[in-house]
Structure 1
Amino acid sequence: MMNIFPVLTTERLILRQFREDDIEEVYRGLSHQEVIKYYGVQYDSLSATQEQMDWFRQIVEEEKGIWWAVCNRHNPTFLGAIGFNDWSKENRKIQTGYWLLPENWGKGIITEAGHAACRYAFDFMSVHRIEAVVETGNLGSRKVMKSLGFEYEGTMRDCEIKNDRWISLEMYAKLNNQ
């Protein structure tokens, strides 16, 4: 897939490879109750967060996806993460996900990063379809899906158990219609 990890830039952001010194910010995000409310992964210690850091590297090495650290382009501030996993080369589709530290919510950061990431997937990964699965209560991600041009395809009712209760997931997708 990639000999050199791609760095993406936008007007305000740089999307770069995760570094080992990002672990504290990743832990801060993936242990924060508001961030993990609708996210599928959470950690209760800095050492446990190493599993996530290893996963970021592993999916690139195994050509199963790619995740970027989302940072401020004008200073080194870490803002969150965005990326792709579950890459099916045979079916030319991939799944996207993202999260931001709460102080960065509502600023259009994920929309800006998402446009750059989707362009990369379509132009350099030969992906035809990008999927996103959103918990029904996650209004913020619903807005992001709309702003990125994803279409709502349906709801999978009571399809997973999270925190000992059934949750429903909405499926969104964006096609490369070039």
Structure 2
Amino acid sequence: MEFPIIKTDRLLLRQFTGTDLKDVYRGLSDPIITKYYGISYQSLEATKEQLKFFADLEKNGTGIWWAICSLHDGTFYGGAGFNNLSKAHRKAEIGFWLLQDAWHKGMIQEVVPLIFTYGFSNLNLHRIEAFVESENTACKNTMRQLNFIHEGTMRDCEIKNGELISLDIYSKLKTDI
């Protein structure tokens, strides 16, 4: 199956490639970007694991992630997609991140609805869910802008950097659209 390319008037969502390594490293080594992302890399070599993760999701049928780029000049902005895809339960978890210079430009609000459409139409999903650290107010605001339903908070459910954290659960159902 050919990798699905998604376009908007200004953005291109395409498959991650090895040429994205430096940009992925730039994003996922930035402590401001990774504060709530849960993954951080300290070298280009280690960042290759993230590119392998994206490829393995697709190969194993457990998700799909797109590189978010400029449609006009190919500038790399970040990534978005699904992981933890369960065909049996018709659900997947959505995630996304952007380089800091792409923040506050409406890119996530532009591409995520198209990713929803892909998930509901092409992957036969019924539920798309997001787990957001309770302190990540920017992401929680984005969830509201994207009309996700806040289902609740899992209090002190994970340990990150030696500290207990809580996660807010958001969802969008196919029937919500």
What's the TM-score, normalizing by structure 1?
Answer: 0.97
Residue of structure 2 in register with 1:84 after alignment? 82
Give runs of ≥4 in structure 1 deviating > 4 Å.
none
Residue of structure 2 in register with 1:45 after alignment? 43
Segments of structure 1 that go 5 or more residues without pairing to the other structure are none
Distance 1:110 1:166 in 2: 28
Question: What are the Cα deviations for residues 64-119 of structure 1, in whole angstroms up to 9, with x where unaligned?
Answer: 00000000111110000001000110110000000000111111111111111111
What percent identity do the matched residue pairs reach? 48
Which residue of 29, 32, 35 corresponds with 1:34? 32
Paired AA for residue 59 in structure 1: L
Distance 1:167 1:81 in 2: 24
Distance 1:147 1:57 in 2: 30
- 3-state DSSP of counterpart to 1:137: coil
Residue of structure 2 in register with 1:103 after alignment? 101
Paired AA for residue 69 in structure 2: C
Residue of structure 2 in register with 1:9 after alignment? 7
- 3-state DSSP of counterpart to 2:57: helix
Which residue of 65, 68, 92 corresponds with 1:67? 65
Segments of structure 2 that go 5 or more residues without pairing to the other structure are none
- 3-state DSSP of counterpart to 1:6: coil
Query: Residues 154-165 of structure 1: matches in 2 within 5 Å?
Result: 154-165=152-163
Comparing 122-131 with 144-153, greater Cα deviation is found at 144-153
- 3-state DSSP of counterpart to 1:85: strand
Cα RMSD after superposing both structures: 0.8
What's the TM-score, normalizing by structure 2?
Answer: 0.97
State the shift of 1:27 in Å: 0.4
Aligned length: 176
